[in-house]
Every structure is written in C-alpha cells, then in structure tokens.
Structure 1
Amino acid sequence: MTLIFRISIVLISWFSIIFLPKSSFRKYLTVTLFSACVLLAETMMAIGFKWWKTKGGVKYTVYNAFSFIFGPFFAINMWIFHFTNGRFLLYTFINLIMDLIFAFGLNIFFQNVGAYKLKKFKSKHLFYTAFAYSFINYGFQKLVEKGDVNS
C-alpha cells in the first residue's frame, strides 16, 4: 500500500468525524481506542503466526495496520456506535453487514492494492474475528456506560 493511499484513507476517515456530534465522539472514544488496541494486538499476533504478509516486511505491516485502524476502522466504529446507540439488534445487524463487506469484498480490494496477502488466514477468519470483536466492543461500551452512571 502506498504512502499516498495510507494517508488518504486516514484523512478521508477523519474528515467524516468532523460531522459526528462532539458528545458522540466523547462517548465512544474509549470503546474505539479499546477496539484499536485489540486490532493492534491482532496485528502483532498476525506477524508472529504469519496470518498475512505485507510487502516490505514488518515495518510496512505496522504502517498499514495503523493506517487502517486509526483511519477507516476508527471512523466506522464511531459512526456505528453513534447510529445504533443502545439498540443491540441494530448494532449487531450493521456489524454483520459491515464485517461481511470487509471480509468478502474489501479484503479482495486491499489484497489487490498490495496492502497485504492472506496466508494462514482466510476471508472467513477475518469475518469471524471482526464479528466477534463487535460483541466484545458492545460489552465494553456497556461497561463504560455503567461506570459513568455509578460515578
């Protein structure tokens, strides 16, 4: 993935956040940062277990991961939480659709532009992990909200 592409996806994603209400940004920042940490941990595991490969080695794997995690993933996570606030079934349905699009559509695009090449991971694994993370994130957000009420 080229530097221009990496910078573009981050800038475009963050441009969308300008339109997110400040209250939603503050409300969902904690869960989004938590999610980012989970994905960074997954990226480190992917390097060790050789789940996917990036041209340029570990350095470019990290660059690509940061571009994706703190670009489109960050913005999409914020928007999904904003639009589905407190509606678990809607949250689950939207995550199901988004994770299917990522795993079976965008995954092909990202591989074609050279962002990575799946090795020991398959599209279905991307889907399963992303969908599982959505439940972890929802639970984490509920804990954060519960903590806000009790403090």
Structure 2
Amino acid sequence: MPHPVHLDIRGFGPTVFCHGTPRDDEEVVLVDSSLERWAQVLDGLDDSIRTVVMGHTHMPFLRLVDRRLCINPGSVGMPYGRPGGSWALLHNGQVHLRHTPVDTDAAVEAIATDSTYPDARTWADTYLRARFSDADALRAFAPRDGRGEAHP
C-alpha cells in the first residue's frame, strides 16, 4: 500500500492517513510526545494539510498540534487499555472516537484454533483482552519516541 495516503475529506480538507507517521511507517509518536517531537514527525507536510490520521501505537487519541488535528483511531485487533475495537469516524469536520465491544472469548478461541502463529492462544489472550494498559504501552513505546528506557 502507498504510504502515506492523501485524501480530501469533507469538513477536513486535505488529510493524510498513515500507519506510523507521515514520514515513516514504523515511526512512533504518542499522545504525550513533546511539541519538538511532533514538529519532527510532521515536518515536510504541506501547510494545506490540517488533519493527520495515524496509528502504530494502537492507542486512541485526538490532539491538536500546532494547528494540525492529529488522530489515532486506536486498534480493533490489538488494543491497549480496554478490550474491543477502537476506531474513529471523521464526518463533516467532526471527529468521533468510537469503541465497539467484541466477543473476546470467541475471538481468542478463533485465533487459537485457526492460526499457525506460535502460541497463538497466549498471544490472543494477552492482546485481545488488552492485558496491557495504555500507561504500560506509553512506557513501552517511550524509547521509540526518544525518551528513556522501556519499562516492562
């Protein structure tokens, strides 16, 4: 898939969609990243782009960064903080962070039964049940954001 994707969204205008950041698919930026860090990852974007939708950290947030609206819709399959699917609806200039409950027991069982991934049941039980909190994830991702060491 192309990275990043540029779309014109009604109510938002030119909008960038990416996995990590607009400049790097694997780069990490967090809700509590410094303004200096945000400036780095958004550097080079055309001034007409006022909305950036990104992910990679699986933690939903909505943040204004130097006049740009930055959105992380979260994750459906590997959430941090609480089980279920987190996603965002962009409609007529409004952002709605949404959460949809899922049958976690059924999802864990389906992955354990159908996947060839090593120790699939343990992985699914850990990640689909959101056993790691948002605070755990922020601490774990911090070194990739240029801050200190990871904490278990």
Structure whose residues are more often helix by fraction: 1
Please say whether Structure 1 and Structure 2 have the same fold, judged by a TM-score greater than 0.5: no
Rg larger in 1 or in 2? 2
Structure whose residues are more often strand by fraction: 2
Relative to the length of structure 1, the TM-score reads: 0.29
